[in-house]
Amino acid sequence: MRTWNTPQRIWLTGATSGIGETLARRLLREGHRVVLSARREDRLAALCQGHTNAVALPLDISDRGAVQSAGRQIQAELGGLDLAVFNAGTCEYLDAGDFDMALVERVLTANLYGTLYCVEAALPLVRAARREGRPARLAVTSSASAYLALPRAEAYGASKAALSYFMESLRLDLAPEKIGVSVIHPGFVKTPLTAQNDFPMPMQIRTEQAADAILKGLYKGRKDIHFPRRFTFIVKLLGILPLTLRFAIGKRLVRESQT
């Protein structure tokens, strides 16, 4: 698969697990200068070992001050960013019978606010790349669940839908600056996070397949990178059905214990 001909300056979060780890290994192998962020310092160090083009930057994205400091460190190290891929996030499912607002806040903080803290820190860096005459792009990982409301996904789905809307709106405002914005909408991917799911995951793919789809989409400048397409097209179609039909279909997915 063809990607960039020249090394890119890239910041990747969520780099030590799942899709992020596979992306990190691919980008490093291709020779890009990659700043890798995750919370686990030991796993970051192991990932970067033997790669002179890797910069380990441990980070909790829910800490806005730490994210702003990370942005300043990247500026000092690289001068700017050609690409930022904000992939860190979490997933917890809500039991409506035991409404847990702390769970909702945790998920929204990680998936929405944490990602936007990173966007805030990255904007001066991608603008610096544009001033150098280089293409520049922001990419965030949302979810196919942003297309369609699902049972127990109140917090997770809302965080991803809000993130997708925010970035699609930001894309419009950044267009005059020629800064690209890609929103990544994965279906089910086999990762340590999805391994905790206790329900069927149709058309699940491997992280290598997900990384292929993401890198191909980023290289081509796609605004909506969604995969596997046979799954995401179905979810998109369900998402535009009339409300009564969406509700009827969604009710069939509710567990017996919830009814």
Averaged over successive runs of 10 residues, the pLDDT of the chain (259 residues) comes to 86 96 97 97 96 97 98 97 97 91 97 98 98 97 94 94 98 98 94 74 88 97 96 93 90 66
Q: Which element (helix H / strand E) includes 25?
A: helix 18-29
Count the domains in the chain. 1
Distance (Å, whole) CA 116 – CA 122? 10
Domain containing residue 145: CATH number: 3.40.50.720
SS3 227: strand
Q: What is the pLDDT of residue 137?
A: 98
Within a domain: 3: no
Q: Which element (helix H / strand E) includes 144?
A: none
Q: What is the pLDDT of residue 259?
A: 42
Within a domain: 29: yes
Within a domain: 2: no
Within a domain: 1: no
Q: What is the pLDDT of residue 256?
A: 53
Domain around 119: 9-258
From the list 93, 147, 156, 219, the catalytic residue is 156
Concerning whether 219 is annotated as a catalytic residue, the answer is: no
Q: What is the pLDDT of residue 49?
A: 95
20, 125, 131, 28: which is closest to 83 by C-alpha?
A: 125
SS3 89: coil
**DSSP one-letter code for 51:** -
Place of tokens 């970051």: 44
Q: How are strands ordered across the β-sheet holding 83-86?
A: 54-56, 33-37, 9-13, 83-86, 136-141, 179-186, 224-227
Is the separation of the CB atoms in 94 and 104 below 8 Å?
Answer: yes
Q: Which residues contact 222 (CB under 8 A, 6 or more apart)?
A: 182
Phi-psi region of 255 (alpha: psi -120 to 50; beta: other; left: phi over 0): beta
The pTM for the full model equals 0.92
